[in-house]
Amino acid sequence: MFRLVTLNLNGIRSAVNKGLLPWVDSVAADCMGVQEVKAQAADVDGRFEHIAGMKGHFHFAQKKGYSGVGVYARKEPSDVVIGFGVPEFDDEGRYVECRFDTPHRKLSIISCYFPSGSSGEERQQAKFRFLDVVYPHLQRLKGEREYILVGDINIAHKEIDLKNWRGNRKNSGFLPEERAWMSKALDELGLCDVFRRLNPHPEQYTWWSNRGQAWAKNVGWRLDYHLATPALAETARSEKIYLDQRFSDHAPLTIDYDFTL
């Protein structure tokens, strides 16, 4: 069994201060994708490059205290790809791909942090540009290898994926164009929303606003995903959103797959 976790940390130092490391130890994951590391190599080296027997492989943003993604892996990858070749977004530290290739299989685990557009129109336009350029990249990759992309996609796909969907139809994260991108990724590109394949139930959220009493009232959004190529998605067996502790404004999502690296 292959256990894969995704978690937007909202700052690795902050998450560690909130008790992240004992939890990661207890989960015994094979890989963990993290987003919003909000650190540089100098902050991670000697402190966070190894967690629970896994080695971290990172894509840091040029801007300090911003974005940044990583894949922690128990097994050494055959290759690590930093960024996906678009300077605007590679400068922001949004994509790292660990490849675990054998003579019989080409397989990637990707941690990706899609931009948020909630701070204003300028960032929303950047988000649309990101969606436009990451789609053909994922399409090309699917023609070459199997993969699971985990990360904070910053899109709630359907009405079931957020509590107050009626009031958010004109807000970033639930805009028609964003939802259409997700539908296209699933229906035309052929990726699988693995969590939804396993869990069709409402009120399954991974992010809660810090405003009001969103967490206490479970007024949340499902923004964190495992998007897998079909053969890998078929091997998914169980899912869990961990809610017993809070390391971030996001919750960890763990999925077990019936294969080994």
Query: Could you tell me the domains of the chain?
Result: 2-257 (3.60.10.10)
Confidence of residue 183 (pLDDT cuts 50, 70, 90): very high
Q: Are 8 and 113 in contact (CB under 8 A)?
A: yes
Catalytic annotation, residues: 152
Torsions phi, psi for 97 (to 5 deg): -125, 120
Can you read off the two tokens belonging to residue 242?
Answer: 């961990």
Confidence of residue 256 (pLDDT cuts 50, 70, 90): very high
Per-residue pLDDT at 212 exceeds 90: no
What is the percentage of the chain residues whose pLDDT exceeds 70?
100
How do residues 69-96 score in pLDDT, each as one tens digit? 999 999 999 999 999 999 999 999 999 9
How do residues 31-58 score in pLDDT, each as one tens digit? 999 999 999 999 999 999 999 999 999 9
Q: Over 173-219, what HEC string results?
A: CCCHHHHHHHHHHHHCCCCEEHHHHHCCCCCCCCEECCCCCCCCCCC
**Residue of 162, 92, 165, 96 lying closest to 126 (CA atoms):** 92
Model-wide pTM > 0.95:
yes
